[in-house]
Structure 1
Amino acid sequence: MTDSFREGGVRVRERRDEDLDVCAELLRVVHEQAGYPINWPAHPRGWLTPASRLGCWVAELDGRVVGHVVLTAVGERAEVERLFVDPTVTRKGIGRRLLDHCVTAAAGFGRELSLEVVDNRGAAVHLYRRAGWTETTRTPIDWGGEHATELIRFSPPART
């Protein structure tokens, strides 16, 4: 799916191979400052490119990569994964634009969409709720250590 749109100075486009180093470094900053992902991956570039991906996109602001998201196939469904935004540009609607892009892409693939987040991600949970996503379930986890005890599943807002 080749899709790109620009709104408010932010452009969402397909991620290219040459973006991976920038995305991996941005992921490190997000991990250090915001604790995402909760467990640092042994191979960040590979983690950013799961085999089950339907698409990978980045958000650019003034030509600089400032966000990332992956849409993966989970059976017949799609799931938002690997969503993060540069901490220096949060609260500018970038995460919301990446989420909206996934809603559109999943519809284009004819798949129902969802996402999961660990309960330590207060800012992420607030983003999803502000964007109209609805919490559907909570599942206990044992891999979050003292930082997270539940996995929260969300469904997207109804399409109009």
Structure 2
Amino acid sequence: MNPAIVRPFESDDLPGAATALIKVHETDGYPVEGVEDPETWISSDDVLRAWVAEMDGEIVGHVAVMRPQGEAAVSLWIEQSGDDEGHVAVLGRLFVVQAARKHATGRRLTEAAMSYGREHDLRLVLDVMAKDAAAMRLYERLGWRKIGETTHHFGNDESIPAVCYVAPGA
């Protein structure tokens, strides 16, 4: 398998990204929402910019930078930094199929989003489910800093512990 190519998301990528999302959900239980309608979840109106990873002609990963929508990580960062919401965005919708994980695909997708944040004067924040230790290790290796904890609510009154992070500054 060749290393993945990370490139900007195009509308033609939507079916392949949805298929990859379903594969990731089947292996990892992530995401906890959006799987019933993956194309709508991936192409949310809150997406500012997105990227895909493609390997051997197949979409194997995705990440998006999104407008804040009341996420705990956004509130925590604004409270701690004094930043205003206009300079904060959320890294979200990051997923990589299992077969592509040993090729630094998640790192490269995250770095694409981080570059966009720096270029547009946006401080990126995120929350990650506490059970997703590999994701937390990735963010920490890239310099993200833990800023607090929250509970991620989804579905029919379901919830799961989550950890909030902020990307390194410019």
Q: TM-score range by the shorter chain?
A: 0.7 to 0.9
Name which structure has the greater RCO, CA cutoff 8 Å, separation 6+: 2
Instruction: Return the offset for 1:155.
Output: 1.1
Partner of 2:63: 69
1:37 aligned to 2:31? Answer: yes
* C-alpha distance 141-94 of structure 1, shift in aligned 2 (>3 A): closer
Question: For residues 142 and 58 of structure 1, what CA distance do their matches in structure 2 show?
Answer: 26
Shift in Å, 1:40: 4.5
Give the TM-score normalised by structure 2: 0.79
- What is the one-letter code of the residue matched to 1:84? F
**Quick check: 1:82 aligned with 2:68?**
no
What residue number does 1:58 align with?
A: 52
- 1:110 maps to 121
CA distance in 2, matches of 1:14, 1:38: 25
Counterpart secondary structure, 2:48: strand
Match of 1:91 among 95, 98, 102: 102
Give 5+ residue unaligned stretches, structure 2: 69-84
How far residue 142 of structure 1 moved from its aligned partner, in angstroms, is: 4.8
Question: Could you tell me which amino acid in structure 2 is paired with residue 25 of structure 1?
Answer: T
For these two proteins, the number of residue pairs brought into alignment is 151
**Residue pair 2:21, 2:95 contacting (<8 A) in 1 also:** yes
Write the distance in 2 (CA, Å) between the matches of 1:28 and 1:10: 19
What TM-score comes out, normalization by structure 1 length?
0.84
Q: Deviation digits for residues 60-85 of structure 1, max 9, x if unmatched?
A: 23443211011102241111100001
Matched-pair contact (CA < 8 Å) for 1:120–1:148: no
1:101 partner letter = A
Q: Judging changes above 3 Å, is the alpha-carbon distance between structure 1 residues 87 and 143 closer, same or farther for their aligned structure 2 residues?
A: same
Q: Shift of residue 130 of structure 1? A: 2.1
Question: Structure 1: 5+ residue runs without aligned partners?
Answer: 1-7
In 2, Cα distance between equivalents of 1:136 and 1:110: 20
Instruction: Report the 3-state secondary structure (helix = DSSP H, G, I; strand = E; otherwise coil) of the residue aligned with 1:51.
Output: coil
Q: CA offsets per residue over residues 17-41 of structure 1, 9 Å max, x none?
A: 1111111111011001011002343
What amino acid is aligned across from residue 96 of structure 1 in structure 2? Answer: R
Query: CA offset at residue 111 of structure 1?
Result: 1.1
2:112 corresponds in structure 1 to 101
Matched, 1:21 2:32: no
1:122 aligns with 2:133: yes
Q: Alignment identity in percent?
A: 31
* Secondary structure, aligned partner of 2:135: helix
Offset of residue 11 of structure 1: 2.1
Task: Say which structure is richer in helix.
Answer: 2
Q: Cα RMSD (Å) of the superposition?
A: 2.2
Q: In structure 2, how many angstroms separate the alpha carbons of the residues matched to 1:144 and 1:136?
A: 25
